[in-house]
Chain A
């Protein structure tokens, strides 16, 4: 964990409202593991504005990529960053995804939840399948990167404008059936809205495979000190505890989370 001044290399608009921000962050980027995040002090917001957490969507040398959607003031200002702008960044933070799948990796993305999964796909030894879902075609992002890495990609949109019409879990159900039929074990990795994560978690339990869910929570300190981003969790012995998404997560195994 370190607090560095990153320098904007490039800012690229993806689909409507989605951006890819590349930052030179030196050692911070080199140390980052898939599933970890950075806590960004957005320039030009007022001095008291809190930092914003973002998943790391990729690393190339000392450059880290953040894939984000403009949803409010912070991300709105972020989208105005230009090459050369300095950005204060704390990271890498959080636990990250485990990188030793016991089966075929099945990645489930909801909207910009694809971000940490892109980084994951670039670091997993074993190739698998990406199931990318969103409201509409514009919400299904970065799938080309997975294809370039040799991953199979399936898409679903709620309005049917790209891929299958419906929720991404429809694709997951089919994929789990297919793997079961071929006698293969799956290992699920997911990032997206809570409803999607919960649904993926239920399927991991039902299929008897592991499901690694990356939670997206509003944070304050990002380092485990303030206890704002807490989540009720369950230990293996069944006892419950209150964990910090920033420090104990953001990745939890499906069976750990008490929804």
Chain B
């Protein structure tokens, strides 16, 4: 039987297969290039970038918990110009679409980062981080109120023609409200979910384990939460969805596709087994073959309920 077609289009980002990596778990691609063939990824999503270099949070920045980890890295990064100079040459060379995760503390900053990336060769799209729980001034503040989120998306929309994909916060009362707000403001795709706000306490010292006190929970523990949110979001979405949250095995990626996602991102699993994204690509292809499907698009939103 003929190999199934794995190609997808994520709001204007053309991917050879539906698998990318989650921002912050794969550096700028280069770091993993000796361990896996990064040219086989559907896209490379890089760590969050703001206008200027940013130092991130004090250490400890992470702690292992059952079913995953809690992190409060705090979006350390080289700033947009540093990123373009230091990392884009390598990324361009991979020939893989590059999705740049961007953030800021004001609408103007987000818009300026987007503007500067607009003409950079190799940048295929922007993931708008409006849901990082680890930076007080930015990120999350934009993602928990639909009007603020819409206003931000509209501001960035005016600054760039690149495909725009807001990354939504999971901890909101109704994800559909945010889906509609982002779409109406000009989003081309939606990414969900970000980490869940979390905290771990050292009972001997009675102090928070993380220097930032709180962080974001990731790993397989959040996968069922993400599936539910992706499924709900898909019901309101008219644009494609990039789903992520706790994928360790191909089956968990396939669940996201069935729930309505067009593509998926592997996150925390990269730290544990860097071959996971490639295993997921292979697993999706096997699944399609077994189920007699010719294209991965047949899988998207194929949930049978009732």
Contact of A242 among B56, B71, B219 (CB under 8 A): B56
A47 beta carbon closer than 8 Å to chain B: yes
Contacting A at CB under 8 A, from B13-71, are 24-28, 31-32, 34-35, 47, 55-56, 59-62, 64, 66-69, 71
Closest to B36 in A: A3
Assess A228 versus B71: contact at CB under 8 Å? Given A46-B66, A50-B64, A223-B35. yes
B271 contacts A50, C-beta separation under 8 Å: yes
Alpha-carbon separation in the docked complex, A221 to B34 (Å): 14
B221 beta carbon closer than 8 Å to chain A: yes
Complex contacts, A242 vs chain B, CB 8 Å: 55-56, 76
Q: Which of B102-110, B151-159, B272-280, B282-290 contacts A (4 or more CB under 8 A)?
A: B272-280
B64 contacts A49, C-beta separation under 8 Å: yes
Contacting B at CB under 8 A, from A3-58, are 3, 41, 46-51
A128 beta carbon closer than 8 Å to chain B: no
Complex contacts, B27 vs chain A, CB 8 Å: 221, 223-226
B183 beta carbon closer than 8 Å to chain A: no
Closest to A229 in B: B59
Contact of A227 among B61, B64, B220 (CB under 8 A): B61
Q: Mark A124-157, 1 if CB is under 8 A from B, else 0.
A: 0000000000000000000000000000000000
A213 beta carbon closer than 8 Å to chain B: no
Complex contacts, A221 vs chain B, CB 8 Å: 25, 27, 31, 270-271
A3 contacts B275, C-beta separation under 8 Å: yes
Contacting A at CB under 8 A, from B185-226, are 219-221
Contact of A50 among B28, B55, B59, B272 (CB under 8 A): B272
Contacting B at CB under 8 A, from A46-78, are 46-51
Closest to A50 in B: B64
Alpha-carbon separation in the docked complex, A217 to B62 (Å): 11
Assess A48 versus B67: contact at CB under 8 Å? Given A41-B272, A221-B270, A230-B76. yes
Complex contacts, B220 vs chain A, CB 8 Å: 47-48
Alpha-carbon separation in the docked complex, A144 to B68 (Å): 41
B34 contacts A225, C-beta separation under 8 Å: no
Alpha-carbon separation in the docked complex, A232 to B75 (Å): 16
Assess A227 versus B67: contact at CB under 8 Å? Given A88-B273, A220-B271, A221-B31. no
Interface size class for chain B? Answer: 35 or more
Assess A220 versus B62: contact at CB under 8 Å? Given A48-B272, A49-B272. yes
A230 contacts B61, C-beta separation under 8 Å: yes
Alpha-carbon separation in the docked complex, A2 to B61 (Å): 26
Assess A47 versus B248: contact at CB under 8 Å? Given A3-B35, A227-B76, A242-B76. yes
Alpha-carbon separation in the docked complex, A41 to B35 (Å): 15
Q: Which of A46, A48, A49, A247 has the most CB of B within 10 A?
A: A48
B272 contacts A228, C-beta separation under 8 Å: no
B221 contacts A48, C-beta separation under 8 Å: yes
A50 contacts B67, C-beta separation under 8 Å: no
Alpha-carbon separation in the docked complex, A218 to B268 (Å): 16
Closest to A41 in B: B272
A170 beta carbon closer than 8 Å to chain B: no
Closest to B73 in A: A227
Q: Which of A51, A217, A218, A226 has the most CB of B within 10 A?
A: A226
B31 contacts A247, C-beta separation under 8 Å: yes
Q: Mark A95-138, 1 if CB is under 8 A from B, else 0.
A: 00000000000000000000000000000000000000000000
Alpha-carbon separation in the docked complex, A242 to B61 (Å): 13
Contact of B31 among A47, A223, A230 (CB under 8 A): A223
A199 beta carbon closer than 8 Å to chain B: no
Question: Would you give the shortest CB distance from A46 to chain B, in whole angstroms?
Answer: 7
Complex contacts, B32 vs chain A, CB 8 Å: 223, 225
B275 contacts A218, C-beta separation under 8 Å: no
Contact of B69 among A3, A220, A225 (CB under 8 A): A220
| Supplied contacts A51-B271, A228-B73, A247-B31, 16 more A-B pairs, CB within 8 Å | A46-B66, A48-B221, A50-B272, A221-B270, A221-B271, A223-B27, A223-B35, A225-B27, A225-B31, A226-B73, A227-B47, A227-B56, A227-B76, A228-B59, A228-B71, A230-B61
Residues on B close to A: CB < 8 A? Answer: 24-28, 31-32, 34-35, 47, 55-56, 59-62, 64, 66-69, 71, 73, 76, 219-221, 248, 268, 270-275
